[in-house]
Amino acid sequence: TLFPEARLQKTLEVRGADSVPAGYSAALPALWLAVLYDDECLTAFESRLVPFGHDAWQAARPNIVEEGLAARIGDTTVGALARELLPLVDKALARRARTNDQGQDERVYLAPLHECAADDRSIGDLVLGGWVPSQPDALASLLERAAY
């Protein structure tokens, strides 16, 4: 079985964030919900991201893995794109106006992404920040940090 970043089955599978800490697990689905179900948000994402082209995104992938939000794509960084596009996701989810028992709409799930984008830190940066691979309990410490 192949596991590309996205594949169309009976549903659209997006594999961009496997095994993230609990606080981040709902962020990616909320982002995709906004982009795929809100025409205004989808159009804005397309007009901003598609012009870079497939080849540029493919070339940037290894840098994104290594450099996170500091990685460059075209004339900008992934972090700058996140800061530019996340407010559009917020607006799309606000338009949906689906609330939980506390009256919070789905934007509440994006809070961790806003924090990451504001500091140019990826989830990997947050999980690994201050972690020392040579410490005696390194593996246990890493697993605890990444627990979900």
Task: Give the tens place of pLDDT for each residue, 40-55.
Answer: 999 999 999 999 999 9
Cα torsion at 90, 92, 95, 99 (round to 10°)?
Answer: -60
Given its phi and psi angles, is residue 95 left (phi above 0), alpha (psi -120 to 50 degrees) or beta?
Answer: alpha
Confidence label for 18 from pLDDT (cuts 50, 70 and 90): low
| pTM of the shown model | 0.83
Q: Shortest CA distance to 96 belongs to which of 22, 26, 35, 14?
A: 35
Q: Which amino acid is at 67?
A: E
